[in-house]
Chains A and B, each alone.
Chain A
Amino acid sequence: MVERYVMSIDQGTNSTRCILFDHHGRLVSVAQREHQQHFPRPGWVEHDAVEIWRNLQRIMPEALSDAGVGAGEIAAIGIANQRETTVLWDRRTGAPLGRAIVWQDTRTGPLVEGLRDQPGDEFFIERCGLAPSTYFSAPRIRWLFDHVKGLAQRAEDGEVLIGTMESWLIWNLTGGAGGGLHITDVTNASRTMLMNIRTLTWDEELLAFFGVPRPMLPEIRSSAEGYGDADAVLPGVRITAALGDQQAALFGQTCFSPGEAKCTYGTGSFLLLNTGTDVVRSRNGLLTTVAYKIGDQAPVYALEGSIAVTGSLVQWFRDRLGLIGSAPEIETLARTVEDNGGCYIVPAFSGLFAPHWRSDARGVIVGLTSYITKGHLARAVLEATGWQTREVVDAMNADFSVALKQLKVDGGMTADNLLMQFVADVLDVPVVRPMVSETVSLGAAYAAGLAAGYWPDLEVLRRNWHRAGQWLPDMDPERRESEYDNWKRAVERSLGWIKPPRST
């Protein structure tokens, strides 16, 4: 039997994709299906887990037939997934109990505010590396127990299973109600607020705090190891990897050494820094998370800085202000002027994330004069992404002993040359773009192929990484400092805009 490709599944927020990669890490075929976004109430975001499973059953054979490849030529399957999105299902029937609650869903906002107050961030950071946020799964489980009658008891009795999307898909792929594997990997488990960041096991105190019964939780496994064979869709093919999407991108960018970092520029942006086998506790507003764990090797950790609004600021500029017809035109408009004309935009649309974590901030445009044109505004839109990256990198350099030497980038905004040059200018380090931009899928494939022996070691994967483009810093240091100072003063003006509700 010839085993020639690795299959990667990326279960993302908007779509599910199946990509085949060859030995050189080159993309061979892609099949993709979008799923519906449900917004039942303001702030609520849900996905239909059954729809996602059906999509996967269609795209896996599609990816094979597009490449003219048989199931026997697949060496292994790896899965990357949208993190923190949570689904509950019936162990016996396999039917989900309601729709999956998506990471963007803010229904647990009041609950989370309460947790930050009592017992306070420290209690959680000490155990799971995370301060409470609406992103993470545990507050969501608590919310469900509080709002769905009888659910807590059914969970206690072992009738209900819970998982993030990789757990749901692996359970279904390996037999579902007829003996499917109920597992998760350390990277996904590290985003639940229920896993102890040091022992990598479910933390008894956190389970007790959130009232989560042990029987409903998946078993925590390594990110890359033989989980089991598929039973459905591609029977007999090994499933050997699962990672959260941002960790998968870090892996796909081959950031295997401490001090290596990547930033994925999408709607929001996620910067992850490999900190090696040490758990680095951030003093500057970053999250501590598991980067990956290969087989029985020691886990590798990462610091993560998430920026809420980057690409979505360009979308806002296009859809709400109507100043451009398509997102890439922002660069054309920005190039009609030499500089920002003294104008800065702080896109704190729903507060500021890392490193500020201020929910009372709202967006501001400062420095407006009669001189400012839409070109200057376009510059300010792009520069906001650059400065927000700089703030996160500053926090990382303060938290970690190895200063950033270069930034690997991926995601849609890397097509914007003006922005990438600006990022290099304000960070004062080279910014490099890899030849395979599908780093999330590639990371899952790499982890899967590594566990299956398709690739021998990390060195080989490193050699597969090639530079497609590079931007070198080219900004006068004085100008960099004065512009950064202006940006910081703009951020100050965004803080505290939302007043606390008046108590009666």
Chain B
Amino acid sequence: MAGPVQSIERAAAILRLLAGGPRRLGLGEVAASLGLAKGTAHGILRTLQHVDFVEQDAATGKYQLGAALLHLGTSYLDVNELRSRSINWADALAARSGEAVRLGTPLEGNVLVIHHVFRPDDTLQTLDVGSLLPLHASSLGKVLLAFGTAPLEPALEVGLEAYTRHTLVVPEQLTRALAEIRELGWAAEVQEMSMGEAGVASPIRGHGGLVVGAISLSGPVERICDSQGRPRPSLITLLREAARAISRDLGATRW
């Protein structure tokens, strides 16, 4: 088993030190207090600043705890900000795939649709931003469940409602599907929410890889899926490229 990670221990010590007093501390004070080289302390402080756990005063250059620490339990990315940062990529995805695009985040046991791009065929469509989708029966929701953005237990407690005969209603089935989604990096929903409709979704990641939302393509099952009822690989590729591009813009480094 690996031992404790030294830099995380040191980061924790810096946070405790900054939390200890009302005063902002300079780099020299932090380094001296913890017996660290200035360069080491600076590297850790900069990283903590990057994730908003620490703030640096613009005038004095001194450090204090960041506001993000106070809101650790709540979503750190505003949904309107997420839409704003995704809009160009979501448009490009709709243009290339020819299908409707949606972005979703969790809201009280459901998926909240936070952005919707029409299918680019100029037929009459209605924006459904603000509407709610079931977590277990939508591709967006399955991604949010699979990557821990929405908790699974409350959904299971409420019970898995059957929307069609394809909806996953047995907890073990759903759990297995979620494990597969984590493995593949994308989720599908084939006639699970409404007959004749299908969708695929992929996670959007922020700093450190944390999944902050999901992006989906959806449409008639015969367009999303091939003749075997499997989602078309070309659509999956476009979807994952868009999800990666948004994630990179949000500061996720490896995706």
Residues of A within 8 A of B (CB): 24, 26-27, 325-332, 412, 414-417, 435-438, 466-471
Contacts and interface: CB of A to CB of B under 8 A. Distances in A.
Given A412-B84, A467-B125, 16 more contacts: A24-B95, A26-B95, A325-B78, A328-B78, A329-B81, A330-B80, A417-B83, A417-B130, A435-B94, A435-B117, A436-B91, A436-B95, A437-B88, A467-B118, A470-B118, A471-B127
A332 B95 contact: no
A415 B118 contact: no
A468 B81 contact: no
Interface string B84-126: 1101100110111000000000000000000011101110011
30 contacts: A26-B92, A326-B78, A326-B81, A328-B83, A328-B84, A328-B85, A329-B78, A415-B83, A415-B84, A415-B87, A416-B84, A435-B91, A435-B95, A435-B118, A435-B120, A436-B91, A437-B91, A438-B88, A466-B120, A466-B122, A467-B118, A467-B122, A467-B125, A468-B117, A468-B118, A468-B120, A469-B116, A469-B117, A470-B125, A471-B127
A414 B84 CA distance: 9
A55 B160 CA distance: 57
Contacts of A470: 118, 125-127
A326 B78 CA distance: 9
Contacts of A417: 83, 127, 129-130
Given A435-B117, A436-B91, A436-B95, A332 B80 contact: yes
Contacts of B80: 328-332, 415-416
Contacts of B15: none
Interface of B: 78-81, 83-85, 87-88, 91-92, 94-96, 116-118, 120-122, 125-127, 129-130
A44 B81 CA distance: 33
Contacts of B121: 466
Nearest to B79: A332
Nearest to A415: B84
Contacts of B116: 469
Given A437-B87, A468-B118, A469-B118, A26 B78 contact: no
A327 B117 contact: no
- 9 tightest CB-CB pairs across the interface, nearest first? A466-B120, A328-B84, A328-B80, A415-B84, A328-B81, A331-B80, A468-B117, A415-B87, A329-B78
Contacts of B94: 435, 468
Contacts of B83: 328, 415, 417
A300 B125 CA distance: 32
Nearest to A330: B80
A438 B126 CA distance: 23
A127 B87 CA distance: 43
Given A331-B80, A332-B79, A437-B87, A469 B127 contact: yes
B225 to A, nearest CB: 23
Contacts of A415: 80, 83-84, 87
A328 B126 CA distance: 22
Nearest to B96: A26
B72 to A, nearest CB: 16
A469 B79 CA distance: 18
Contacts of A329: 78, 80-81
A461 B87 CA distance: 22
A438 B84 CA distance: 14
A332 B78 contact: yes
Contacts of A435: 91, 94-95, 117-118, 120
